[in-house]
Amino acid sequence: MEVFKGINNNFALAKRNGKEVIVAQNGIGFGKFPKQVAENDVEKVYELNDFALQGIDFTQFSPEVMNYSHKIVQEAEKKLNLPTTDLLFLNIADHTNYMVQRLKQGISLSAPFRVEIEKFFPKEFALGNWAVNYLAEETGLEIPRQEAHAYALHLINSQANLGERAKIDPYIKIVSDINNIITYHFRKEFPEDSFYYLRFVTHLKYFIARKLNHETTEYRKSDLYQTLQKEYPFEAQAVKKIEKYLTESYHWVLDEEDLLYLLIHIKKISEI
């Protein structure tokens, strides 16, 4: 792998299989360029594979911003059991760089879906809070709490594998809307920290991500959904309301397997 330009002491630009990448390793930015480095000798390789980000000149980022971003991504990998993706690092680095510039100029921005993020994505929000506290300590800047929501959005996006920011908002909105449907249907609030409720929200995250990414699963016909529908008619009505909402709002087609898993999870949380 040819390393052709240093970004800072610990980051450099390189070519791997004809593609431009960022490599992270202590001291990689020192010495003469170009130079050959074995991929096994570097800590991390990030591909610049997102078109929206390829126009960003990472060489203009300060060494501190690159190091902060790498640290945040490592913490996300550890705390959320989240595989480090190229896009996550690039988004975190870009956001951190812009945020530091804004705050030094006294500019603060609001973050969307703050209530929904705290309610439905507590782990991502907690990591966002950690990032804000870490950056405040490292930079000496007073960082607004809404930046925790912004970092959480990047983490949510990464887990959902949603390449476009335009898809993040409906992703969060759908989780919130489905929660409202079942809350009104059962006429009660569900404890957000309960085991079955958290499992239900986790199922929704992956279900919605599949639908937004147009992924399909192989469905084997069975009579289980029809059986459970008769056994739990009130819970099945809630599933039908969710199906109607998703069909009318997003034109999604739910097969019996989708409905079955929704029914099973809703039955569990109805007993909380």
Residues of the chain with CATH 1.10.1790.10: 55-160, 167-270
What pTM did the predictor assign?
0.65
Specify the fold of 1-47. Answer: Transcription Regulation, Sacy; Chain A (2.30.24)
C-beta atoms surrounding 11 within 10 Å: 24
The lowest-confidence range among 54-58, 115-119, 210-214, 262-266 is 54-58
The lowest-confidence range among 1-10, 239-248, 249-258 is 1-10
Answer with the residue of higher pLDDT: 50 or 234. Answer: 234
Q: What is the pLDDT of residues 155-192, one digit of tens each?
A: 887 776 544 444 566 778 888 889 889 988 998 888 87
pLDDT surpasses 70 at 247 = yes
Which CATH number, 1.10.1790.10, 3.30.70.20, 1.10.40.30, 2.10.109.10, labels domain 55-160? Answer: 1.10.1790.10
Please give the pLDDT value at position 51: 46
User: Residue 67 and residue 87: Cα distance in Å, rounded?
Assistant: 16
CA proximity to 27, closest of 47, 45, 46, 6 = 6
pLDDT surpasses 60 at 13 = yes
For the record, the structure tokens of 58 come out as 């990472």
Please give the pLDDT value at position 241: 95
179-199 CB burial, b ≥16 within 10 A, e <16 = bebbeebbeeebeeeeebbbe
Dihedral sign of CA atoms 155, 68, 52, 112 in order:
positive
Burial grade of 230 (CB within 10 A; 0-12, 13-18, 19 or more): exposed
pLDDT surpasses 60 at 20 = yes
Which residue in the block uniquely carries the two structure tokens 């192989």? 218
Please give the pLDDT value at position 131: 98
**Mean pLDDT computed over 197-221:** 82
Report helix, strand or coil for 261. helix
Residues of the chain with CATH 2.30.24.10: 1-47
In the chain, which ranges are continuous DSSP H helix?
51-54, 63-79, 86-104, 114-120, 122-139, 146-160, 168-186, 195-212, 224-231, 233-250, 256-270
Q: What is the pLDDT of residues 75-113, one digit of tens each?
A: 998 998 876 667 788 889 988 998 998 898 888 777 767
What superfamily does domain 167-270 belong to in CATH?
Answer: PRD domain (1.10.1790.10)
Please give the pLDDT value at position 163: 47
CA angle 199, 202, 207 (to 5 degrees): 125
Please give the pLDDT value at position 254: 93
